[in-house]
Amino acid sequence: MRCGQTRRYARWTALVALSALPLTAGPPEASAGPEPEPEPETVTVHVYSPSMDRVVPVAVQTPADTSVPRPTLYLLNGAGGGEDEATWQHQADVESFFADKNVNVVTPLAGAFSYYTDWQRDDPELGRNKWTTFLTQELPPIIDAEFGTSGVNAIAGISMAGTSVLSLAIAAPSLYRGIGAYSGCAETSTDAGQFYVRTVVESRGGADSENMWGPLGGPGWVANDPLVNAEKLRGTAMFISSSTGLPGEHDTLTARSVDGDPSVLANQVIVGGIIEAAVDSCTHRLASRFDELGIDATFDFRPSGTHSWGYWEDDLHESWPMLATAMGL
């Protein structure tokens, strides 16, 4: 897997920053053996967002065989937005899992505490956030033009982004064929939903949640509520998961996210258990809403598990056959 390459996309022009090649005094030496097999590749591209007037780093993993067009999976991080170490690339087996799959995997490495939505006002702490515009209008044309796509997309996300992926699909109903929503609270206009959003945006991000969607309980909060707007998700393949919050198989000292640290394990079990129990309640309410409306979706309610990476890696693996089918693979 070749990592660490960087490409820069300024405004709508794809300007690829290539390292200078060394000069040689003569012709290249003859190959000593057969050409190596092509490998998957991960690069970081820097994409200018006109709506936010900023450059956004985006990780793009392409398959080994890029000779034919392929779909794209947009894979979103949680509350940290990929600006910390809590990312799919650092905490899960994304690179090895997708190494043999004919799909682009695209992950923005920004957007902390933003809910990947369009904010109504700039925030003193988080600045200008127009993530719905970026993810649904600005980024896809560049990915399609530069990375050999088929124009078919799916989207998946965890925690904060487990809510966002549903809202993004509602905002752009023809953009995604499949959705994976892992451990997200799929409501924003209820008291419980607003408490969860404010915990992320205000308690963790230090921002003003009313800069995001306006006054609490107002039309902005309703418009971005997947529970209220569930009808707009009809016809999209969906895998939606949560756990009870009780300790499970990945809540051990040997778990990758714990790395042998008892204090980390205690936090994962106690805090991660409380958070997961809360989103589990949200997810059950969404399932009931889908049942009322007759909307098809796959719900995976685990009997144990906390709000942590081991379970999200499992979710990605378990939802992949559905996402792949939705994208035509």
Residue pair 188/217 in contact (Cβ under 8 Å)? The answer is no
CA 83 remoteness from chain centre: 13
What distance in Å separates the CA atoms of residue 112 and residue 56, rounded to the nearest whole number?
12
Q: Give the dihedral of Cα atoms 171, 176, 180, 181; nearest 10 deg.
A: 0
Mean pLDDT of 101-114: 97
C-alpha 301/C-alpha 304 separation (Å) is: 9
Q: Which residue, 106, 98, 116, is CA-closest to 155?
A: 106
143-165 per-position pLDDT tens digit:
999 999 999 999 999 999 999 99
As a whole number of angstroms, the distance between CA 208 and CA 240 comes to: 29
Express each pLDDT in 109-139 by its tens digit.
Answer: 999 999 999 999 999 999 999 999 999 999 9
CA-nearest of 170, 291, 165, 177 to 236 is 177
What is the arithmetic mean of pLDDT over 10-30? 35
Q: Is the dihedral of CA 92, 199, 164, 205 positive or negative?
A: negative
SS3 13: strand
Question: Which pLDDT does position 33 carry in this prediction?
Answer: 57
Sequence-separated (6 or more) residues with CB below 8 Å from residue 215: none
pLDDT at res. 242: 98
pLDDT in tens, 47-88: 999 999 999 999 999 998 899 999 999 999 999 999 998 999
**Residue 44: alpha-carbon gap to chain centroid:** 16
**Which stretch of 106-110, 189-193, 243-247, 290-294 has the lowest confidence by average pLDDT?**
189-193
Is the pLDDT confidence value at 10 over 50? no
Where are the strands (E) in 77-230, listed by range? 104-108, 149-158, 178-182
Distance CA 244, CA 316 (A): 18
User: Taking 90 as the threshold, does the pLDDT of residue 92 lie above it?
Assistant: yes
pLDDT at position 5, please?
56
* CA dist list (Å): 299 to 103, 237, 239, 288: 24, 11, 6, 11
Q: What percent of the chain has pLDDT over 70?
A: 88
Per-residue pLDDT, 267: 95
- Name, in order, each residue with C-beta under 8 angstroms of 15's C-beta and a sequence gap of 6 or more: 8, 9
Full strand arrangement of the beta sheet holding 54-62: 13-15, 2-10, 41-49, 54-62, 104-108, 70-76, 149-158, 178-182, 237-243, 298-302
Rounded to an integer, the average pLDDT of 285-299 is: 98
Single-letter code of the amino acid located at 84: D
- pLDDT at site 41: 86
With beta carbons less than 8 A apart as the criterion, state whether 253 and 312 touch: no
